[in-house]
Structure 1
Amino acid sequence: MREGDFAIEFPTEPKDAVGILGEELQRLAEHLEWHFDHARKLQEVTDSVIGGLFLDDVLKRIFDAFRAVIPYNRLGCALINEDQLSVSTYWSCADYPETHLPNGFTAKLAGSSLSNIVHTGQPRILNDLTEYLSENPNSHSTRLMVAEGIRSSLTCPLISQGKPIGFIFFSSLEPGTYKDLHQGIFRRIATQLSTLIEKSRLYQEIVDINQRLAITQQELQDLATRDQLTGIYNRRGILELVDAAVAKAKRENRRMALIMVDIDYFKRINDSGGHIAGDEVLREVASRMTNSVREYNHVGRLGGEEFLVLLDEADCDHAHDIAERLRSAIDMKPINCDGTTYSVTVSAGVAQVVDTEKLVDVQHLILTADEALYESKRNGRNRVTCRQAMA
């Protein structure tokens, strides 16, 4: 027994002093075996639960592991809100399909039966929820649980570093499920479990905050680099991409191409239809251009009615065809604005980089595309002109 082996048969006959001592030793061995078995199970439960990092994962691990020491059909967790005046259900899991008590259900803490559990710090057993509901008909949460079929519950407070943070609810479909033994089991690991849940909750909050910060940062980045009218890159955004593409082309000896696009006679549209018509034309042109290139290519608005398209190396050889596709997509169908249609065309200039050693800088590349564009303008508009960017 000293070495932890309790599977020992002690002589209990005859019923003399030695036999009586044997019976006592036998009972002691069985008692110790039971306690050591539960201690081992609790250790296994704890080891399983502490592997979780996020709160939902920790609670799911509790649901999967605690059956070895506490019976239940449903496990729920409610957290005390920051105001310390109310509590909200956060998570639940059941081995039956129909549940009625939703996550996010909020109830007042002050004056409730849960506040007494917080005050005493002790788990509470309710072994007949139907009777409890008849005595407390205003308990909406109990009514929902009874509607699910729950008949007994063990409510355990979660207290971390002296601060109540919430509750774990073990619930059973059978009445009379819970005993003092189950209260004792929870008390043995209550502090460790409460601390683990609190740390995982705080970790989840940090992750959530970081995600919100990342989203906010992306939104700010979009505000800085996206054209508010058309939704495509603005001048800053597209030129930053061109800068990066040129640097990469020089570093890796990669080919690249730019397409400069300008709406023909845009001033006439503004003069006849006003800025509302002009804005609608800009939006539609941007949309058709975006839909006419692959997603790894980039479309930006340089300003006014002038656009820039950055092509990946894979499309460099087809730059003229792509520019022609852009031109055709805009020319093929008039743009409607409040019942008035506008026949819109664009002129395009393509600058191709075949030999990166002859590429001077970004401005030289853009200037080449701009010169090709104005050659298209001089030759009658609604056409594409290509040039190679040479030193």
Structure 2
Amino acid sequence: MNKDRMSTVETAICDSFRSDPTRLNPPSSVCISGRPEFHHQALWRHLEKAGHAVYRFTEDLALLDAVGACSPSAIVYEIPAGRERAVQFLNQLAKLNHDACVILVGPEIGAESVAHCLRSGAFDYLTVPVSSARFMTSLHDGLVNRHTFRVVRNLSQELAQSNERLAEERNALTHWNRTLLALNHLTQVLTASLDSETIVRSLFTGLATLVPLDIIGLACAEPHRIMTWSRSSAWTCQEMQVREWLLRHFPEDAKPRTSSRQPLDLVGAEALSREDCAPLSSFPAVGDDRHTMTIPLPISPDRQGVLYLERREGTFTDAEFKMLSTVGTSLAMALRNASTHQMIQELALRDSMTGLLNRRALEDVLAREFKGGFRYRSSACLLLVDLDYFKAINDQLGHLAGDQVLRGTAALMRRAVRDIDVVGRYGGEEFGIVLPHTDLDCALVLAERLRREIESQEFEADQGIVRITASIGIAHIPAVTIRSVSEWIAAADSALYGAKASGRNRVVVHVPDQAVLVEGATVMLAAP
């Protein structure tokens, strides 16, 4: 019997009882347990004629089975003598978690025994003989009480469910607040730095605490860089596969687009699909089953990046997708700011005409190399290169032609040196080249090759082909006569002066005067 029907049945009892105490409308189900003669009382037949369901039992076990199966509205239980059997039955009945109204019928057993039965779960105890009016009054009151109990129980269940939902919502809200705080902290950390390496480290650390991730990949163009992170060393192999995959599929000329769970359709690249991920056979492809996510990073109009995220267990939810897209926006902004800052730094350190380091930046490099050479006794050489008769080019062909020669010479020197070497414009037509970890013999070979290349180079100017030569001075450290950066520069400049004095278009190595050499050696010996 469903809840609404039971409520209707029991609510209607009061009205029906006022008109006829022997009638209960709508019908109820009543289980009768007792001796055979107890079953044949006229009251039960009257209830049956009125449409009520009356079930008769002589054994407690059968009655208990019926209670568990059909949940009757009321149970009328006859007690032959004493309370022991009634209490035993009530204890067994309590284990069924029922809500039937239990009315005990029996001989006089005393107030204490009646009270014990009521405490054990009975609603009423009727002493035989029982009149129909007395029984119907008890049944009516019991069903009203049952109805009230069920209403309270249902309300309690609804309250418990509401409290459970509120607890779940509170926990979800608490988790979401923590997530938002972590997201806010991560975006602040990303945008607070102007160093791309620091930004990437903060990204990998922050994302791993923000959402469950197994692998993170970041690809950037100009310069083309691939960086990856994995949750533990157990993921190293998969991390390398993701790195290789990004290297294959991320082009340097990719153009920005909006975030999507779909394969990233980059200009100049194939769409990323399961077939493209052959080496990643144990992982879903990008955009597949919501286990991976690619977030394009529009770092600048001509610079594209991609943030790749992957998890083995679980899929990305819509909330996580929106949150990670926000991280992507902050990351793109942070990388753009870092790129702009680096560009400004580069502009401040470079000569606007040739693109080489300016004098200040070159002297900073000299200071760094001198400090390392002095501390670790490592070799380094400084070349000062001066273009011979450059003033004549400016005077005869004009400054535009001179500028073209300077730019051409700068490009030639950049091509001639190693990646670790540093080339700068020292001033006018004079250039400086710092050669770290280079002994004097190697520096001399490079200087002589550079001199020959400048001599044989045909520089194009608006007025025609221009040819020029160069004089080069070399100073080497460590040297007992060179105790500061200024002395290092002065030594190279002295060698350059010697090259020009010897007829130009030649390489001269600095050789200290004997008196200076002796003085320097004395200072070095006296040093602690």
Q: TM-score under structure 2 normalisation?
A: 0.39
Shift of 1:334: 2.3
Q: Which has the higher contact order (CA 8 A, sep 6+)?
A: 1
Residues 86-125 of structure 1 mapped to structure 2, 5 A cutoff: 90-93=259-262
Ranges of 4+ aligned residues in structure 1 off by more than 3 Å: 16-21, 52-57, 192-195, 314-317, 388-391
Residues 1-391 of structure 1 mapped to structure 2, 5 A cutoff: 50-52=211-213, 90-93=259-262, 193-314=317-438, 316-355=440-479, 358-388=481-511, 391=520
The one-letter amino acid paired with 1:374 is Y
Q: Is the 8 A contact 1:242 1:310 kept in 2?
A: yes
Q: Is the 8 A contact 2:374 2:478 kept in 1?
A: no
Structure showing greater radius of gyration is 2
Q: Is the 8 A contact 1:350 1:373 kept in 2?
A: yes
Q: Is the 8 A contact 2:455 2:470 kept in 1?
A: yes
* CA displacement, residues 215-252 of structure 1 (integer Å, 9 cap, x when unaligned): 11110111111111111111111111111111111121
Q: Is the 8 A contact 2:381 2:438 kept in 1?
A: no
CA spacing shift, 1:232–1:56, aligned 2, 3 Å: closer
Distance 1:54 1:380 in 2: 64
Q: Is the 8 A contact 2:259 2:325 kept in 1?
A: no
The one-letter amino acid paired with 2:364 is E
The one-letter amino acid paired with 1:207 is L
Distance 1:369 1:89 in 2: 55
CA spacing shift, 1:302–1:89, aligned 2, 3 Å: closer
Distance 2:466 2:413 in 1: 17
Distance 1:91 1:303 in 2: 52
Shift of 1:90: 2.5
Q: Is the 8 A contact 1:289 1:329 kept in 2?
A: no
Shift of 1:200: 1.7
Q: What is the DSSP-based 3-state SS (H/G/I as helix, E as strand, rest coil) of the residue aligned with 2:367? A: helix
CA spacing shift, 1:93–1:199, aligned 2, 3 Å: closer
The one-letter amino acid paired with 1:381 is R
Distance 1:349 1:235 in 2: 17
Q: Which residue of structure 2 aligns with residue 81 of structure 1?
A: none
Q: Is the 8 A contact 2:356 2:423 kept in 1?
A: yes
Distance 2:432 2:511 in 1: 16
For the aligned residue pairs, the C-alpha RMSD in angstroms reads 3.4
Q: Which runs of 5+ in 1 are unaligned?
A: 1-15, 22-48, 58-87, 95-101, 103-188
User: Percent of aligned pairs with the same residue?
Assistant: 35
CA spacing shift, 1:318–1:388, aligned 2, 3 Å: farther
Q: Is the 8 A contact 2:474 2:496 kept in 1?
A: yes
Bigger shift: 337-346 or 192-201?
192-201
* CA displacement, residues 357-388 of structure 1 (integer Å, 9 cap, x when unaligned): 54310000000000100110011000000015
Q: Is the 8 A contact 2:439 2:476 kept in 1?
A: no
Distance 2:361 2:491 in 1: 20
Bigger shift: 206-215 or 231-240?
206-215
Q: Is the 8 A contact 2:422 2:434 kept in 1?
A: yes
Q: Is the 8 A contact 1:264 1:382 kept in 2?
A: yes
The one-letter amino acid paired with 1:360 is R
Shift of 1:345: 0.3
Shift of 1:305: 0.3
Shift of 1:206: 2.5
Q: Is the 8 A contact 2:421 2:435 kept in 1?
A: yes
* CA displacement, residues 331-375 of structure 1 (integer Å, 9 cap, x when unaligned): 0122121251122000010001144x5431000000000010011
Q: Is the 8 A contact 1:372 1:385 kept in 2?
A: yes
Distance 1:56 1:261 in 2: 45
Shift of 1:304: 0.5
Shift of 1:316: 4.2
The one-letter amino acid paired with 2:484 is D
